[in-house]
Structures are given as C-alpha cells and as structure tokens.
Amino acid sequence: MNQPDRRRFLQAAAVAAAFSPGARGASDRVNLAVIGLGGRSRDLLSIYTGLSDCRVAAVCDVDQAAQERAVALVEKQTGVKPKVYDDMRRVFDDPSIDAVSIETPNHWHALATIWACQAGKDVYVEKPCSHNIFEGRQMVAAARKYQRIVQVGQQSRTIQHKQRAMKLLDDGVIGKVYLAKGLCYKRRKSIGRQPDGPTPPGVNWDLFLGPAPLRPFNPNRFKYNWHWFWDTGNGDIGNQGVHEMDIARWGLGKDREMPRAVYSTGGKFVYDDDQETPNTQLATFDYGDVQMVFEVRGLLTNADAPLPMRGGHTIGNLFYGSDGLLAIDLQGFQVYRGEEHQKVMDEKFTEPRAWDTEPHIRNFLAAVKSRRVEDLTCDIEIGASAAALCHMANISYRLGRKLTYDAAAGQFAGDAEANRMLSRDYRAPYVVPERV
C-alpha cells in the first residue's frame, strides 16, 4: 500500500471508529494533541493540563526547541511525557488521538483542520480560522461532511459579560443600533530588517511554510512576526481585529449576513522595515441598514472615549444607537443614554483569572462529548464568516478600491482581480482541496 492510499485508509478507519458503538464514552477524558507550540500554545497547554476531562497526549511542532519546551511543561504539570511529532500528518495518523488543538500560524489553520476532520479528529483552531475566504468555506464543508466538532478560538463568544452586553443590545438598551466600531489600537514596535540566512538547526522550514510559497529562511518571517507578511499572516485586522470585528457584527445582529460592500484604506507608516501588512488601517462595511467600522492603529495614538487605554492599548467595541451608546472591552461594559450621555450601567467582568480562554476550552470539550455542534459558542461557521470580513477588508486595502460583494454568488460583483484573491496559489503537497 503506497503512502497516499495508506493515509486514506487510516483516515477512513478513524472516522468509522469515531462513530462506532464502542467509541470513547462521554465520561472518558479526551486525548488531545496540541499542534503548533509557540507563545499562544503555552497559555493553552497550561489550561489543558489543568483540566480533568482531557489529557495532552501529544505535542507537535516543526521546531525541535519548541517541542522540548512543550514536553517539559506538560511533564511538569501532569507527570506524564506526551508523544512528540514534528509533522502534523503523523498526529492525524495516530488512532489514539481524539482531538487536536491547532495553534499554528494562520496559513496552516485551514489545511490542518481539514486533514484533522478527514482523520476523524475534533478540532479547536485558533483565530482567524482561515488565511483566505475560500479556506473558511472548505473548513465548514469538512466539519459538516465528517461530522466533526470544530471550535474557533474567538473567546469573546463564551465570555459572560460580552454575552450579556449582546443580549442587552438585542433587547434595545440603546434603541436601534445603527453603527458598530471595532478598535485595535495595539502598540506594535518596528520589526526592523533582517537578512535571509540558513535555517536554524532543528527547524523544518519546508513544513513551516507548508501551503505558502517557498522562500529562504528569514528570522522576521519566523516566530511571532509571521503575522506581518501576506504569505503567512493577515496583519492586525486578522490577528487581534477578528475578535472585535466578530463582536461588532454580533451586536449589530449580522452574524449570518455578509456586508454589501467594503472599503479599506491605510498603510504602513513611519517604519522602514520588513513588514508587509499595514500598521494603520480603516475598514468600513456597508450592510444597507447598518454600518460597521474597524480601525487598526499600531503606532502611538490616543484612546477612543469612553474606552480607556490599558497598557498602551485600546481594544474593544463601541455601539451607537438611537437612544445611546454601549462601550465594551475585556474589563466590562458601560451604557450611556440620552442627550446628556448619562451613564446608566457599568458592569465589570466577574469571570476568574483564566476567563478569556478556559471557559471557551471547556465549552469545546463539552461539545466533543455531547457530539452536538449547537452546543459550541463559536462553531466553525461563525469563525469562518468572521474571518471573511478581515479578508474582505485586506483585499480592498491591497487593491485600493471599494468592493461590492454578492453574497448569493459568494464573490465580489464584476471584479475578477478581487475574486482571484478569495483563494491563493498553494504549494504542493500542501493544497487546500476543492473537494474535502
């Protein structure tokens, strides 16, 4: 049996086992593999290893040093050494793994999720769930076809004070909402310039690039700074921004609706460095009866009252209604009403310290056991449509023009150049399939 046939056989067997009468019971622990072991994974590993209903059975990364750090953390927390993989395909071939947590760079999210679904694994995938709009659609298709539980790491959907605020908006606390603003005033220092060079020992650069074009190793394209290159990231509008953009459309009641048009402007100002994505960006989304605005500011800036600056950043949302204003961020929300902008409500969050991620993880694990997609607070369909807004804004920014979107056709109206940017040219064999 050749390797492709072997993989298809193993995937089919895993899916069959997942639906068999003898499959893992609801009371058993979920055997989890964590794929991608950078900074975000350290937070998630600390949560996973503290939960009684899951076990970190394996870790996977293209960087040997990252593998070793993760193994040490898991072993310290649990006393048990996890399996170690450098290629996620070996994780998907492992029949002992029930679910995977994907914390890779953005350009790997879709293919990793699709492969996992095909192999019968449930998935927790970090935001933005996709690198482009086509990928999000394929992720939804794979989750549905293989009946997998796929949760996207947009934790706001599980945070209690944000759920309460959205309910208040729906109930008319500030009247008819006509405008939502998402803010990502997150201070970003220049990444400078770095020459290409040899790949560091222990790093599989080909696997790191995966679906992206083959390029020489560069330190600025590795580790966190991959966010600022179009090959691998989506800029801050797709990094921090997807959280606030999702909240904005949630509060507008547009969760299941795409905008009619988008226009995004901005640029990379002040810095002379390797970064490709903008450090200043303004995107406007037209829904016809309401409007949504999102803004990125990575340079020195002021706050946007009544949202304060915290640690040099202003990150949150402002909702404008016929009767007042609601402001919300990670610390709580405030409601102002009337011509005098009287504060009538000031609610602080009451969740425990790990409030921004642990409840979201618990929600995912509960759905893995219940097998009910509707139990998820951020199913892949929500995550994919939120990410699509980021991608639409970036396409408009890169083309320098307003774009009209035809939701029924799933493409931009009369714009072949923009429609080519709905997907990308994939590097074999790391190809997101047309049919999952």
Q: For residue 435, is it within any domain? A: no
Residue pLDDT, tens place only, 16-27: 444 333 344 444
Do 316 and 167 reside in the same domain of the chain? Answer: yes
Q: For residue 436, is it within any domain? A: no
Residue pLDDT, tens place only, 57-83: 999 999 999 999 999 999 999 999 999
Provide the domain count of the chain: 2
Q: For residue 434, is it within any domain? A: no
Please report, rounded to a whole number, the percentage of residues in the chain having pLDDT higher than 70: 92
- Residue 92, pLDDT above cutoff 90: yes
CATH code of the domain in which 255 resides: 3.30.360.10
Do 295 and 222 reside in the same domain of the chain? Answer: yes
Q: For residue 52, is it within any domain? A: yes
Do 125 and 182 reside in the same domain of the chain? Answer: no
Do 190 and 126 reside in the same domain of the chain? Answer: no
Q: For residue 128, is it within any domain? A: yes
Q: For residue 325, is it within any domain? A: yes
The boundaries of the domain holding residue 315 are 159-350+386-420
Q: For residue 54, is it within any domain? A: yes
Q: For residue 355, is it within any domain? A: no
Do 100 and 195 reside in the same domain of the chain? Answer: no
Residue pLDDT, tens place only, 385-398: 999 999 999 999 99
CATH code of the domain in which 121 resides: 3.40.50.720
Do 336 and 370 reside in the same domain of the chain? Answer: no
Do 330 and 181 reside in the same domain of the chain? Answer: yes
pLDDT computed for residue 23 by the predictor? 45
- Residue 291, pLDDT above cutoff 50: yes
The 3-state secondary structure of the chain, one letter per residue:
CCHHHHHHHHHHHHHHHHCCCCCCCCCCCEEEEEECCCHHHHHHHHHHCCCCCEEEEEEECCEHHHHHHHHHHHHHHHCCCCEEECCHHHHHHCCCCCEEEECCCHHHHHHHHHHHHHCCCEEEECCCCCCCHHHHHHHHHHHHHCCCCEEECCHHHCCHHHHHHHHHHHCCECECEEEEEEEEECCCCCCCCCCCCCCCCCECHHHHHCCCCCCCCCHHHCHHHHHHCCCCCCHHHHHCHHHHHHHHHHHHCCCCCCCCEEEEEEECCCCCCCCCCCCEEEEEEECCCCEEEEEEECCCCCCECCECCECCEEEEEEEEECCEEEEEECCEEEEEECCCCEEEEEEECCCCCCCCCHHHHHHHHHHHHHCCHHHCCCEHHHHHHHHHHHHHHHHHHHHCCCEEEECCCCEECCCHHHHHCCCCCCCCCCCCCCCC
Q: What is the pTM of this model?
A: 0.93
- Residue 11, pLDDT above cutoff 80: no
Do 94 and 152 reside in the same domain of the chain? Answer: yes
Do 109 and 169 reside in the same domain of the chain? Answer: no
pLDDT computed for residue 351 by the predictor? 63
Do 206 and 345 reside in the same domain of the chain? Answer: yes
As a whole number, mean pLDDT of residues 320-344 equals 96
Residue pLDDT, tens place only, 244-290: 999 999 999 999 899 999 999 999 999 999 999 999 999 999 999 99
Do 96 and 182 reside in the same domain of the chain? Answer: no
- Residue 97, pLDDT above cutoff 60: yes
Do 184 and 62 reside in the same domain of the chain? Answer: no
